[in-house]
């Protein structure tokens, strides 16, 4: 055609156009288009109900209304499907394939060219009974038309061989799964909240299903029931490898869940799922799983520590929150804050917030702060100590909440821990509900106060780290920090705080004097400076604190009075006695220490009295009055001089053991030094041998070079001598000839 137009001179212009052509994503072949009659469901036609219809009651209107009352997670899903339904043409539900669920109807063409659909109860019953007994393949059997039409087979009814769109099939699943108690007895009795029940139906699939399953389910249910089949729709992204590539067996970058569970456990996979932002595409791979395993290890270690600590806790020893020290009340306040976040996150299916919140709380607030501070109280205080009982009560409340909160995420770990934690309670943590009633623990004023205390603690900790790096101290218990505070608000806040306990040091002092220029400071905590001094006293063999009071108790000379009392109570418990209840008097406020006139008799200064005059102690010692039992009193009265001798003998034995250990260490050290000396000597000898061999090689090389040079010089000399001899002979031969010529002239 173009050639003919060119020859006739009738073609105005011509050119080549390169364009894209649709290809099948599966076969990669070009798509062939053909015009084929299809079955449609009208989107904008009023839906007839029992022969009558309501104006505006269309499938599109019903679907848009259902979308507005459904919860979409994430919320962006609402806008996506709303736009699809709003602009959707009539819904095509037929396909022309050799397999699938048939559109089981009979039609015949009218005179005007339109199609009439057979609606006969007897025909429909025969089709339904056959499908129930034989399946959908009954429609394709030989003689199916005559079988189902019966007496109408002689009329011009045509059997439709088109199949339903597979999305129409999947969109009808709610009618059977949720409403067919005979075939799904386990789901019988479900009553949705929209019907006055307690059940909520959620559809969960990938983000591509807004065009597929979500949409077909919505349209099918709205057309037959007038509402959506779901209450909540949650969509997630696709799982990629750790480099962001689509997983493929041919590429070899797949991560099999079975292998992850076999290598690391199912809870690791569950934790990874909950920690990711499923609203977007998520990545997984060996390196990413390593981080998940590390997160799990920290969570598990915190749970294990709490279980071990609560092993000897009895609910009868529980302390009311109002009677607890400030630190325990602070942790309960922090727990209450996390409770609100976790509950809301679960309600919104925001699992990554649950994992992030609980992970940060357990690692930062509990392990690195509260547990670290309270280990001394839990391990070394007497069993009757109020602080110890309060700490155990607080850990019990925290452990109960943590196990329930983490149960949906770490289902196996928490269930195992729950059976150890409360063996006489519910047999599984999954039979419990999320804990409630944390609002009573809220104390915002206390939280503000402790924010200041923790800022001061950060400055002290920073100063201790520098001293530790400089090898001036090993453990923080070897230090006695002197804290200079120029801010009156901070100084007043620290007035009655045991800063040594909070900073985990043997002693701590606070002063409002001017800090020296060399004091440690942090830029974000103005008005606070710290100078780290060495703790004064003897190291307690039990708590490892360095205190001047160690040795005051003659029965336990190696420990502090606090630890001595604890040892007595534990001994009494071992012998079947109940320890006395310790009654702690409230500490009196400590003000500034005024300069005192020197006393007549010299008094040795305590660590608290050392330093500037304007000093306050972190916290005064608490006086404890113990009501002794009758047995304890009788034991004190019956104690004789033999006990003193036993103490002396024990001390002597202890000293002998220490001397033996020192001797052993000295011998080991001498042995190591000797071995090191022998090793050094061998190394030196080896090095000397190597040097000697190298020197010998150099000397041999020099000798060879010298001999070679001598030979060359001798040869050169001989050659020169020979040349000289020849020249002499030649000279002798020419001289007489010259004389003869001279005579001839």
- Res 444: pLDDT: 96
Helices (H), 407-524: 411-421, 444-469, 488-493, 499-503
Please check the confidence at residue 581 and state whether its pLDDT lies above 60.
no
Q: Do residues 148 and 158 lie in contact, with contact meaning Cβ atoms separated by under 8 Å? A: no
- Res 25: pLDDT: 82
Please check the confidence at residue 462 and state whether its pLDDT lies above 70.
yes
Please check the confidence at residue 323 and state whether its pLDDT lies above 90.
yes
Q: Where are the domains of the chain?
A: 257-442, 446-535+580-596+606-627
Per-residue three-class SS string for 514-535: CCCCCCECCCCCCCEEEEEEEC
Q: How many helices (H) and strands (E) does the chain have?
A: 22, 22
* 514, two tokens: 């001017």
Among the listed ranges 393-407, 578-592, 622-636, 721-735, which one has the minimum average pLDDT value?
622-636
Q: Do strands 232-236 and 202-206 pair parallel, antiparallel, or not at all (unpaired)?
A: parallel
Among the listed ranges 281-285, 327-331, 667-671, which one has the minimum average pLDDT value?
667-671
Please check the confidence at residue 710 and state whether its pLDDT lies above 80.
no
339-361 confidence digits (pLDDT tens): 999 999 999 999 999 999 999 99
Which residues have CB under 8 Å from 224's CB, separation 6+?
175
621: left (phi over 0), alpha (psi -120 to 50) or beta: beta
Which residues have CB under 8 Å from 6's CB, separation 6+?
14
Across the chain, mean pLDDT equals: 83
Long-range contacts of 39-43 (CB under 8 A, 24+ apart): 39/92, 39/93, 39/94, 39/103, 39/162, 40/90, 40/91, 40/92, 40/93, 41/90, 41/91, 41/93, 41/219, 41/223, 42/90, 42/91, 43/88, 43/89, 43/90, 43/91
- Measured distance CA(327)–CA(619) in Å, rounded: 14
C-alpha neighbours within 13 Å on the C-beta side of residue 38: 16
* 486, two tokens: 């120029």
Long-range contacts of 402-405 (CB under 8 A, 24+ apart): 402/302, 402/303, 402/306, 402/358, 402/362, 403/303, 403/429, 404/429, 404/432, 404/433, 404/434, 404/435, 405/342, 405/354, 405/358, 405/434, 405/435
Residue 722's pLDDT band (cuts 50, 70, 90):
low
- Measured distance CA(555)–CA(660) in Å, rounded: 23
Among the listed ranges 212-226, 363-377, 578-592, which one has the minimum average pLDDT value?
578-592
Residue 510 sits at φ, ψ, to 5 deg, of: -125, 135
* 430, two tokens: 């999954």
Please check the confidence at residue 419 and state whether its pLDDT lies above 70.
yes
46-84 confidence digits (pLDDT tens): 888 777 778 889 999 999 999 999 999 999 899 999 999
More confident of the two residues 574 and 664: 574
Among the listed ranges 139-143, 290-294, 503-507, 720-724, which one has the minimum average pLDDT value?
720-724
- How distant, in Å, are the alpha carbons of 3, 38, 272, 290, 602 from that of 598? 125, 110, 68, 65, 8
Residue 235 sits at φ, ψ, to 5 deg, of: -115, 150
C-alpha neighbours within 13 Å on the C-beta side of residue 612: 16
- Res 100: pLDDT: 86
288-308 confidence digits (pLDDT tens): 999 999 999 999 999 999 999
Please check the confidence at residue 473 and state whether its pLDDT lies above 90.
yes
Give me the percent of the chain exceeding a pLDDT of 90: 58
More confident of the two residues 712 and 500: 500
- Res 511: pLDDT: 94
DSSP state of 546: E
pTM, two decimals, is: 0.69
DSSP SS3 for 732: helix
* 544, two tokens: 């490892």
Q: Do residues 102 and 144 lie in contact, with contact meaning Cβ atoms separated by under 8 Å? A: no
- Res 354: pLDDT: 97
Please choose, from the candidates 242, 249, 297, 292, the residue with its C-alpha nearest in 3D space to the C-alpha of residue 268. Answer: 292
Q: Do residues 480 and 509 lie in contact, with contact meaning Cβ atoms separated by under 8 Å? A: yes
Q: Cα(first)–Cα(last) distance of the chain, in Å?
A: 125
Please check the confidence at residue 507 and state whether its pLDDT lies above 90.
yes
Q: Do residues 455 and 494 lie in contact, with contact meaning Cβ atoms separated by under 8 Å? A: no
Residue 703's pLDDT band (cuts 50, 70, 90):
low
Helices (H), 94-153: 121-134, 144-149
More confident of the two residues 619 and 282: 282
Sign of CA dihedral 61, 62, 68, 71: negative
Please choose, from the candidates 543, 516, 514, the residue with its C-alpha nearest in 3D space to the C-alpha of residue 531. Answer: 516
The CATH class of the 257-442 domain is: mainly alpha
- Res 392: pLDDT: 97
Please check the confidence at residue 648 and state whether its pLDDT lies above 80.
no
* 126, two tokens: 């025969």
Q: Do residues 202 and 217 lie in contact, with contact meaning Cβ atoms separated by under 8 Å? A: no
- Res 745: pLDDT: 34
- Res 682: pLDDT: 72
Q: Report angle CA 162, 164, 167 to the nearest 5 degrees.
A: 150
CATH number, span 446-535+580-596+606-627: 3.30.2320.20
Helix, strand, coil shares of the chain as percentages rounded to 5? 55, 10, 35
Residue 123's pLDDT band (cuts 50, 70, 90):
very high
Helices (H), 9-135: 59-68, 76-86, 121-134
593-634 confidence digits (pLDDT tens): 333 333 333 333 333 333 333 333 333 333 333 333 333 334
- Res 14: pLDDT: 87
Please choose, from the candidates 333, 374, 365, 363, the residue with its C-alpha nearest in 3D space to the C-alpha of residue 501. Answer: 374
């Amino acid at each position: 055609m173009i050639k003919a137009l060119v020859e006739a001179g009738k073609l105005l212009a011509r050119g080549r156009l390169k364009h894209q052509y649709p290809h099948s994503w599966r076969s990669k072949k070009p798509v062939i288009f053909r015009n084929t009659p299809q079955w449609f469901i009208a989107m904008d036609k009023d839906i007839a109900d029992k022969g009558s219809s309501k104006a505006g009651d269309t499938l599109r209107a019903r679907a848009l209304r259902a979308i507005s009352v459904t919860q979409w997670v994430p919320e962006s899903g609402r806008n996506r499907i709303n736009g699809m339904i709003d602009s959707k043409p009539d819904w095509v539900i037929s396909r022309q394939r050799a397999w699938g669920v048939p559109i089981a109807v009979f039609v015949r063409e009218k005179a005007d060219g339109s199609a009439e659909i057979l609606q006969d109860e007897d025909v429909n019953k025969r089709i339904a009974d056959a499908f129930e007994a034989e399946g959908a393949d009954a429609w394709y059997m030989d003689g199916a038309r005559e079988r189902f039409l019966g007496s109408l087979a002689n009329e011009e009814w045509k059997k439709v061989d088109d199949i339903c769109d597979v999305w129409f099939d999947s969109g009808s699943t709610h009618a059977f799964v949720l409403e067919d108690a005979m075939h799904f007895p386990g789901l019988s009795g479900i009553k949705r909240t929209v019907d006055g029940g307690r059940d909520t139906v959620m559809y969960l699939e990938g983000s591509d299903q807004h065009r597929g399953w979500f949409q077909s389910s919505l349209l099918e249910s709205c057309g037959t029931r007038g509402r959506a089949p779901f209450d909540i729709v949650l969509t997630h992204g696709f799982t990629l490898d750790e480099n962001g590539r689509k997983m493929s067996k041919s590429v070899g970058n797949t991560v099999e869940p079975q292998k992850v569970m076999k290598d690391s456990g199912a809870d690791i996979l569950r934790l990874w799922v909950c920690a990711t932002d499923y609203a977007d595409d998520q990545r997984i791979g060996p390196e990413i799983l390593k981080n998940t395993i590390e997160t799990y290890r920290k969570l598990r270690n915190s749970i294990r520590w709490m279980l071990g600590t609560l092993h000897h806790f009895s609910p009868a020893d529980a302390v009311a929150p109002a009677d607890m020290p400030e630190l325990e009340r602070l942790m309960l306040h922090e727990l209450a804050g996390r409770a609100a976040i976790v509950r809301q996150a679960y309600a919104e299916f925001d699992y990554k917030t649950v994992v992030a919140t609980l992970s940060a709380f357990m690692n930062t607030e509990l392990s690195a702060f509260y547990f670290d501070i309270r280990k001394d109280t839990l391990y070394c205080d007497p069993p009757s100590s109020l602080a110890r009982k309060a700490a155990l009560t607080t850990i019990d409340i925290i452990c109960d909440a943590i196990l329930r909160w983490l149960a949906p995420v770490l289902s196996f770990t928490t269930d195992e821990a729950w059976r150890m934690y409360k063996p006489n309670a519910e047999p599984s943590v999954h039979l419990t509900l999320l804990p409630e009633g944390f609002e009573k623990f809220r104390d915002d004023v206390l939280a503000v106060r402790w924010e200041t205390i923790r800022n001061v603690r950060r400055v002290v900790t920073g100063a201790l780290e520098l001293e530790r790096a400089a090898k001036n101290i090993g453990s923080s218990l070897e230090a006695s920090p002197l804290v200079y505070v120029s801010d009156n608000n901070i100084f007043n806040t620290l007035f009655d705080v045991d800063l040594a306990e909070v900073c985990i040091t043997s002693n701590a002092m606070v002063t409002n004097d001017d800090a020296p220029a060399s004091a440690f400071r942090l830029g974000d905590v103005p008005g606070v400076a710290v100078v780290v001094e060495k703790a004064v006293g003897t190291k307690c063999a039990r708590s490892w604190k360095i205190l001047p009071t160690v040795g005051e108790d003659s029965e336990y000379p190696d420990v502090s009075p606090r630890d001595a009392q604890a040892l007595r109570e534990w001994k009494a418990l071992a012998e079947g006695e109940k320890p006395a209840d310790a009654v702690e008097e409230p500490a009196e406020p400590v003000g500034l220490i005024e300069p005192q006139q020197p006393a007549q008799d010299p008094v040795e200064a305590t660590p608290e009295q050392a330093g500037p005059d304007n000093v306050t102690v972190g916290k005064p010692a608490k006086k404890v009055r113990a009501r002794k039992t009758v047995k304890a009193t009788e034991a004190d009265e019956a104690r004789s001089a033999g006990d003193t001798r036993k103490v002396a003998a024990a001390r002597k034995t202890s000293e002998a053991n220490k001397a033996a250990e020192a001797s052993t260490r000295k011998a080991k050290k001498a042995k190591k030094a000797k071995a090191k000396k022998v090793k050094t000597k061998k190394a030196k000898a080896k090095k000397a041998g190597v040097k000697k061999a190298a020197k010998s090689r150099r000397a041999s090389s020099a000798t060879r070079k010298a001999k070679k040079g001598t030979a060359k010089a001798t040869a050169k000399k001989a050659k020169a001598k020979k040349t000289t001899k020849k020249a002499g002979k030649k000279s002798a031969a020419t001289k007489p000839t010259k004389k003869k010529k001279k005579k001839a002239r």
